[in-house]
Amino acid sequence: MPFFAGNDTIRELRTALSDPAVHADKIRYRQVLRRVVSLMTDGADMSPLFPDIIKASATADLVQKKLTYLYICNYAAVQQDLALLAINTLQKDCLEPNPMVRGLALRTMCSLRIPSLVEYIQLPLKKGLQDSSAYVRRNAVNGCAKMLHVAPELIQDASMIDQLYGMIRDKDPIVVVNCLQALEEILQAEGGVVVNKNIAHYLLNRVQDFSEWGQCQVLHFLLKYKPSEEEETFDIMNIVDVCLKHSNSGVIMAALKYFLFLTQDMPQIQEQVYNRAKSPLLNIITSGGPELSYVALCHIQYILATSPGLFNRDFKKFFCRYNDPLYVKTKKLEVLTEMATDGTEGDIVDELSMYCTDVSTDLATASIQAIGKIARRLPTSAAHCVGTLLKIHGLQQEHITSAVLMALKDLVLLYPDIVTKVTPLLPNCVELVQEGPAKATLVWLLGQYGQTLPNGPYILEDMIENVASEISVQVKLELLTATAKMFFIRPAECQDMLGCLLEYCIDEDSNMAVRDRALMYYRLLHTDVQQARRVILGAANRPVQIQDSDAPGHEVIDLMDLNTLVPIYGRRRWDVMVEEQKRKQEQTKLTNGTSNETHMAAEVAEAVEEDNLEETISLLSHCSLTPQEFETKWGELDCVTTVHLDYDPTQSPNGLLQKLEAAHIFTMASSPEEATQWKAFLFAVAEMKDETHVVLVELCLDRLAATMQATCKFGADHMEDAVPLISQFGRILRGTITSFS
Amino acid sequence: MSCSMLYILDLKGKVMISRNYRGDIEPSVIDKFMPLLMEREEELQTSPIISTEEVTFVYIKYNNLYMVATTKKNANVALVFSFLYKVVQIFMEYFKELEEESIRDNFVIIYELLDEVMDFGYPQTTDSKILQEYITQEGHKLETQVRPPMAVTNAVSWRSEGIKYRKNEVFLDVIESVNLLVSLNGHVLQSEIVGAIKMRVFLTGMPELRLGLNDKVLFQNTGRGKSKSVELEDVKFHQCVRLSRFENDRTISFIPPDGEFELMSYRLNTHVKPLIWIESVIERHSHSRVEYMIKAKSQFKRRSTANNVEIIIPCPSDADSPKFKTTVGNVKWVPENSAMVWSIKSFPGGKEYLMRAHFNLPSVEREETEGRPPIAVKFEIPYFTTSGIQVRYLKIIEKSGYQALPWVRYITQNGDYQLRTS
């Protein structure tokens, strides 16, 4: 949480930093620096001390150096001019005989992220790549990846890329992995680092040299190379087999994915792979720590969708331990539910029934629902499940009884023969079940099956007497239906109460749905009682089918999604999340306008949120404008917005203009292609709600920062009218420019 | 994986340490973390992964700290968790304890470590042995020439050259932990043995070690099928073991790291008789009292003895005035844990002991329901392994030809040992 560090603190620290007495005492000096860094961590603005810290960085004390460099990295972006002073020391440090210092300096330098300093960094970086110490080389390679966003032209240079490819053969394993990672980022636009047969075989042969993290990454990169022959595939699997034995769960998961990738077209072998991976996965669950256990469970759940039955024999491994955190228990519950088959369902249901008494009412409820789900899926298990549910019901606790009732409701529809077991329970539930949905279920059950109960009507009568205090609409609706149904079967007992209920619902209840249903029943009964009987009772006897939306087989599984967040959230949910993420990013970019436009941009963003696509604009494919007109209009229009865009340096400006033209945004004038300050004037005519509006654009390119700025002027009289126009034009512009392929 | 940032937060969510690795997110995103976590907790939707529109938080809780990694990509979370665990382990090896205090006290060194274990969001050197060689509590002077240890560049990345000891010794501990879960009606639901061979190595130079076990596969290969052997499952080795040789001829050969490390771990899923069996009869008379009758049985060979046995029996949190009666050991009530602990210093095999306990219950019953924690058992049986694994030899070869003494010790202990109660 940022807080204001008073000027006094800054002054005090500054005095301390320049005090010769403190300087002489290394420990004390370090203490002062420590305080600066710790205040910085707390979020206080320590940037005014920048010059003092730069002075402090020229030191022989390595710890002190590290602290100052940490500080410099943090504030360089704010103090760009002063950062130049730091470069001097850093450059000197790059020539130190001690490789630790060289590496540290190089790492720091590349982390500054200031475009104007690139020229100073270039040389040390290139030298670092050839350094004799692996430690320096590692940092240099990572440095390349860091510089990518600051100086793409330096890094995306052919010779640099060649050199990095060459360094994949470095003798230090960490350098190799760093190289792969760096190339992956640098060449992202072209699909990342290329792994051909040679590189793949080379990496495979060294796979054991790599650290655990290296192995994970290498296994990931190997996914880019698909062996052509079966024999080769088997050789590879033999080599990688050791990774499945690794003590790091991350490596095991990466190896598993790699195996599945290799055997994609060999379903039989894939089966074996699953079996091979089973025990490492199960081990993560029992001994990997709760978080990893959770991840493994998510993956098992994901895999189960394609290979149900894979873990059937090990179902006891998924039983909950008392001290498992709730998220692990919940996941285990889900997995157990999906795993239940004809052979194992008995044990699983017994185990699930143990969780009904868990302290967490949510787990208890979930376990009861799970039993219901198993009963629905496996007709053979229904009797056992229902028996268990009835036993659990005996525990006489509100949340348990509620959940049991709701589970039984579905089962009664599927297996009508259990009705005789369920109905006798109902009277006992009345006292316990008070909550909306569960109570509605209870009332429905009473209406549907309560006729056989001697006191059935009187239970309803009690409820009707208290109907005025009932808040749940659902309960009232069910109560109406239940009483009406009961009326047709035991009219003598029910006539009065139905009358009361109808009267209350029609005259006094404020809810429309309740009133409408009451009125409908009233009119039906009023018109023709026999017809009413057919209408109200008739619907109840139709056969039903209940489908669980999350039953296995519903999700589309892509094995390449393993080891990502997809199995954690499930495909569908993840897709939704990605959508949202994209939308959010668009919005923030739109809001990032310069200060005077911020207000408007915010308005635009708001509009986007409010009515996403209510009014659509289209750009006319033919329009013309003379340069003179352009100039006068540019001067006249005062409805302005600025859009900031990323520039992809591999894209030529002319190509960009062509693309824009294809989207009906035409060029008025542009600077020569190679100009450093490249600029273009564009225009378009937008049609919205049968009106046309002229849009003028000035597009400026900043090659160094790889960004573009588009100043758009709109031919609209009122800002308010133009909001959808502005937002949508911005989207079109962004879409066209970034749709680079 | 590429972590954008790594944070260490205290329980309230205040940032104690933050390290920005990639500079691609606003460091202030962490301000959203705590509110989100609270929100999830309220909805009982807790999970160690929280995704927002901008970033994904991947966190672990350790003591009173949150270690949070943020990532912008569709990351491999298993890897991130392994990394966080690893960082915790490194801190533990440096500071013994990992909690708010030790973070504050070792502020500088933590930044130094975070700088080395990860760069630009990718893990680098995380071997704490190696890190300890160039990042130390005392800090360094440049004059003393802190070079990256040879190991950082060595082919053998886990051991530096030039290690010297006056007395060359190797200690080898074979430790087997028993995980057990017993159902209410006395059925064993889960039972497994997790074994580990831990070493403490004090050897000069670059010694080459070879370990011989009574491994079933090896015995069958070499025609000694009849001798007593064990079948090891899921063997995992320390990085130093040459896996190819193990695959070929089951030889465990390696150049060990210096000091303490875990050489290998294995697992046995064979069903063994629970070493200590507990039977419990609990009679609850609501509003007045609850009575326990606990029977403990040692189901291992008579010549072995379990030491420091602790049987932890849960009792209602509103119980009071305990009375205990037992033939051996002593019983203590630990009201803060709602449990009683029956300790037996030494419990020989094939014996059976009994304990009775009596508590008063208040006449007014509590509103909220309590969970039913299981009975847990702690024990240690020296000179004994459930699996029957044996170290047949440990050969130590070094070019200087010194003699070194290997010491071997066997222990079986409890792992997650739970018996459910009604």
> In chain B, what percentage of residues exceed pLDDT 90?
43
* A327-352 per-residue burial string, b: 16 or more CB within 10 A, e: under 16: bbbbbbbbbbbbbbbeebbebbbbbb
Q: What's A640's DSSP letter?
A: E
Angle between helices A134-147 and A158-167 (to 10 degrees): 140
**Is B179 found in the same domain as B263?**
yes
**Is B181 found in the same domain as B243?**
yes
Contact A286 B125 (CB under 8 A): no
Q: Which residues in chain B have Cβ-Cβ distances shorter than 8 Å to A107?
A: 115, 119
Contact A98 B416 (CB under 8 A): no
The per-residue pLDDT for range A430-447, each reduced to its tens digit, is 888 887 888 899 888 888
Q: Which residues in chain B have Cβ-Cβ distances shorter than 8 Å to A43?
A: 15, 28
**Is B261 found in the same domain as B393?**
yes
**CB–CB of B316/B370 below 8 Å?**
yes
Indicate which of A32, A69, A292 best probes the interface with B, i.e. most B CBs within 10 Å of its own CB. Answer: A292
Contact B82 A99 (CB under 8 A): no
Q: Which residues in chain A have Cβ-Cβ distances shorter than 8 Å to B15?
A: 1, 41-43
* Bridging pattern class, strands B169-182 and B405-419: parallel
* CATH (one of 3.90.550.10, 3.90.1150.10, 2.60.120.10, 3.30.310.10) for A597-740: 3.30.310.10
Higher pLDDT, A90 or A603: A90
Higher pLDDT, B24 or A552: B24
Q: Closest to A139 (Cβ–Cβ): which among B2, B119, B184?
A: B119
Is residue B138 one of the residues assigned to a domain? no
Instruction: Tell me the sheet residues that pair with A670.
Output: A680
Q: Which residues in chain A have Cβ-Cβ distances shorter than 8 Å to B123?
A: 211, 213
Is the minimum CB–CB distance between A362 and chain B shorter than 8 Å?
A: yes
Q: Which two tokens stand for residue B215?
A: 């491994």
Is residue B55 one of the residues assigned to a domain? yes
Which DSSP string corresponds to A229-267?
SHHHHHHHHHHHGGGGG-S-HHHHHHHHHHHHHHTTT-H
Q: What's the half-sphere exposure (Cβ side, CA atoms, 13 Å) at B235?
A: 20
**Distance (Å, whole) CA B246 – CA B213:** 12
A558, A562, A567, A573 alpha-carbon torsion, rounded to 10°: -50
Residue-level pLDDT at B305: 95
The per-residue pLDDT for range B128-154, each reduced to its tens digit, is 877 887 787 654 434 444 455 554 555
**Is B69 found in the same domain as B116?**
yes
The per-residue pLDDT for range A385-419, each reduced to its tens digit, is 999 998 888 888 888 888 999 899 888 888 888 88
**CB–CB of A289/B384 below 8 Å?**
no
**CB–CB of A663/A734 below 8 Å?**
no
Stated length of chain B: 422
**Is B401 found in the same domain as B377?**
no
Å from A247 to nearest chain B CA? 6
**Distance (Å, whole) CA B297 – CA B300:** 9
Last residue of a domain, one of B82, B105, B132: B132
Chain A, window 314-353: residues with a beta carbon less than 8 angstroms from a chain B beta carbon: 316-317, 319, 321-323, 325-327, 351
Task: Give whichever of A54-63, A487-496, B129-138, B166-175 has the largest mean pLDDT.
Answer: B166-175
Confidence grade of residue A739 (pLDDT, cut at 50, 70, 90)? low
**Is B185 found in the same domain as B78?**
no
CA A396, distance to chain mean position in Å, is 40
**Is B249 found in the same domain as B290?**
no
Is residue B145 one of the residues assigned to a domain? no
**Distance (Å, whole) CA A84 – CA A71:** 15
Q: Is the pLDDT of residue A612 over 50?
A: no
Confidence grade of residue B226 (pLDDT, cut at 50, 70, 90)? low
Chain A, window 20-79: residues with a beta carbon less than 8 angstroms from a chain B beta carbon: 30, 34, 37-38, 41-43, 60-63, 66-67, 70, 73-74
Contact A99 B247 (CB under 8 A): no
Residue-level pLDDT at B200: 94
**Distance (Å, whole) CA B388 – CA A638:** 87
**Is B267 found in the same domain as B126?**
no
**Is B413 found in the same domain as B315?**
no
**CB–CB of B91/B104 below 8 Å?**
no
Chain B, window 46-105: residues with a beta carbon less than 8 angstroms from a chain A beta carbon: 46-49, 51, 53-54, 56, 60, 74-79, 81-85
Is the minimum CB–CB distance between B327 and chain A shorter than 8 Å?
A: no
The per-residue pLDDT for range A448-494, each reduced to its tens digit, is 888 888 888 888 888 888 888 888 888 889 898 888 888 888 888 88
**Is B9 found in the same domain as B128?**
yes
Higher pLDDT, A559 or B288: B288
Count contacts between A and B (CB, < 8 Å): 232
Contacts of A32 by beta carbon, 8 Å cutoff, 6+ apart: A13, A16, A17, A22
Residue-level pLDDT at A592: 55
Å from A382 to nearest chain B CA? 23
Residue-level pLDDT at A8: 83
Q: What is the three-class DSSP state of A4?
A: coil
Residue-level pLDDT at A564: 84
Round the average pLDDT of chain A to a whole number and report it. Answer: 83
* Bridging pattern class, strands B233-237 and B122-123: unpaired
Residue-level pLDDT at B216: 81
> In chain B, what percentage of residues exceed pLDDT 70?
93
CB count, 10 Å around CB of A728? 21
Is the minimum CB–CB distance between A211 and chain B shorter than 8 Å?
A: yes
Residue-level pLDDT at A717: 67
Number of domains chain B is built from: 3
Is residue B317 one of the residues assigned to a domain? yes
Mean pLDDT computed over A363-391: 90
Which residue does chain A place closest to B18, by CA atoms? A41
**Distance (Å, whole) CA A115 – CA A104:** 20
Contact B76 A139 (CB under 8 A): no
C-alpha triplet A38, A41, A47: angle, nearest 5°: 90
Å from B408 to nearest chain A CA? 23
Residue-level pLDDT at A591: 61
Contact B82 A100 (CB under 8 A): no
B287 torsion bin: left (phi>0), alpha (psi -120 to 50), beta (else): left
Q: Which two tokens stand for residue A68?
A: 């100052």
Q: What's B96's DSSP letter?
A: S
Q: Closest to B146 (Cβ–Cβ): which among A34, A62, A351?
A: A62
Residue-level pLDDT at A601: 42
Round the average pLDDT of chain B to a whole number and report it. Answer: 86
Higher pLDDT, B418 or A633: B418
Chain B, window 220-239: residues with a beta carbon less than 8 angstroms from a chain A beta carbon: 233-239
Confidence grade of residue B170 (pLDDT, cut at 50, 70, 90)? very high
Is the minimum CB–CB distance between B35 and chain A shorter than 8 Å?
A: no
Is the minimum CB–CB distance between A193 and chain B shorter than 8 Å?
A: no
Contact A242 B247 (CB under 8 A): yes
Q: Which residues in chain B have Cβ-Cβ distances shorter than 8 Å to A211?
A: 123, 125-127, 157, 239
Give chain A's radius of gyration (CA, Å). 35
**Closest CA relative to residue A47, chosen from A82, A21, A22:** A82
Q: Which residues in chain B have Cβ-Cβ distances shorter than 8 Å to A219?
A: none
A706, A707, A708, A709 alpha-carbon torsion, rounded to 10°: -150
Contact B139 A146 (CB under 8 A): no
> What CATH number is given to the structural domain containing B206?
2.60.40.1170
Chain B, window 156-185: residues with a beta carbon less than 8 angstroms from a chain A beta carbon: 157, 179, 181, 183-184
H or E element, residue B393:
strand B391-397
Residue B388: phi and psi, rounded to 5, are 85, 15
Q: Is the pLDDT of residue B115 over 60?
A: yes
Residue-level pLDDT at B254: 93
**Is B99 found in the same domain as B12?**
yes
Which residue does chain A place closest to B264, by CA atoms? A247
Is residue B150 one of the residues assigned to a domain? no
Higher pLDDT, B370 or A353: A353
* Bridging pattern class, strands B118-119 and B122-123: antiparallel
**Closest CA relative to residue A438, chosen from A426, A455, A449:** A426
Q: Closest to B47 (Cβ–Cβ): which among A292, A327, A360?
A: A327
**Closest CA relative to residue A423, chosen from A407, A440, A442:** A442
C-alpha triplet A57, A58, A60: angle, nearest 5°: 105
The per-residue pLDDT for range A10-42, each reduced to its tens digit, is 888 888 888 888 878 888 888 888 888 888 887
Residue-level pLDDT at B274: 92
Is residue B125 one of the residues assigned to a domain? yes
Q: Which residues in chain B have Cβ-Cβ distances shorter than 8 Å to A396?
A: none
Indicate which of B32, B73, B81 best probes the interface with A, i.e. most A CBs within 10 Å of its own CB. Answer: B81
Higher pLDDT, A184 or A570: A184
Mean pLDDT computed over A277-285: 86
User: If you search the block for the tokens 């992964």, which residue do you land on?
Assistant: B49
Q: What's the half-sphere exposure (Cβ side, CA atoms, 13 Å) at A22?
A: 15
Task: Give whichever of A519-528, A695-704, B68-77, B343-352 has the largest mean pLDDT.
Answer: B343-352
Q: Which two tokens stand for residue A436?
A: 């909306």
**CB–CB of B276/B379 below 8 Å?**
yes
Q: Is the pLDDT of residue A618 over 50?
A: yes
* A62-92 per-residue burial string, b: 16 or more CB within 10 A, e: under 16: bbbbbbbbbbbbbbbeebeebbebbbebbee
Q: Is the pLDDT of residue B255 over 70?
A: yes
Å from B352 to nearest chain A CA? 27
Mean pLDDT computed over B207-226: 81
Give the type of residue at A500: C
The per-residue pLDDT for range B305-349, each reduced to its tens digit, is 999 999 999 998 888 899 999 989 999 999 998 999 999 999 999
* B125-152 per-residue burial string, b: 16 or more CB within 10 A, e: under 16: bbbbbbbebbbeeebbebeeebbbbbbb
> What CATH number is given to the structural domain containing B18?
3.30.450.60
Q: Which two tokens stand for residue A334?
A: 């889900």
**Is B239 found in the same domain as B297?**
no
**Closest CA relative to residue B395, chosen from B143, B113, B203, B180:** B203
Mean pLDDT computed over A682-698: 81
Mean pLDDT computed over A108-119: 86
Which residue does chain A place closest to B265, by CA atoms? A247
Contacts of A73 by beta carbon, 8 Å cutoff, 6+ apart: A108, A111, A112, B20
Q: Which residues in chain B have Cβ-Cβ distances shorter than 8 Å to A362?
A: 44
Q: Is the pLDDT of residue A139 over 90?
A: yes
Contact A37 B243 (CB under 8 A): no
**Distance (Å, whole) CA A443 – CA A474:** 10
Q: Closest to B142 (Cβ–Cβ): which among A60, A247, A566?
A: A60
Domain boundaries defined on chain A: 443-551, 597-740
Residue-level pLDDT at A333: 92
Residue-level pLDDT at A604: 43
Mean pLDDT computed over B355-371: 82
Is the minimum CB–CB distance between B421 and chain A shorter than 8 Å?
A: no
**Distance (Å, whole) CA A455 – CA A461:** 10
Which residue does chain A place closest to B368, by CA atoms? A359
Is residue B68 one of the residues assigned to a domain? yes
Q: Closest to B148 (Cβ–Cβ): which among A73, A133, A290?
A: A133
The per-residue pLDDT for range B20-52, each reduced to its tens digit, is 898 888 888 898 999 988 888 877 677 899 888
Residue-level pLDDT at B318: 87
**CB–CB of A109/A121 below 8 Å?**
yes
Mean pLDDT computed over B217-235: 76
Contact A30 B108 (CB under 8 A): yes
Structural domain boundaries enclosing B310: 276-364+372-382
Instruction: Tell me which of A104-113, A562-571, A640-649, B179-188 is least confident.
Output: A640-649
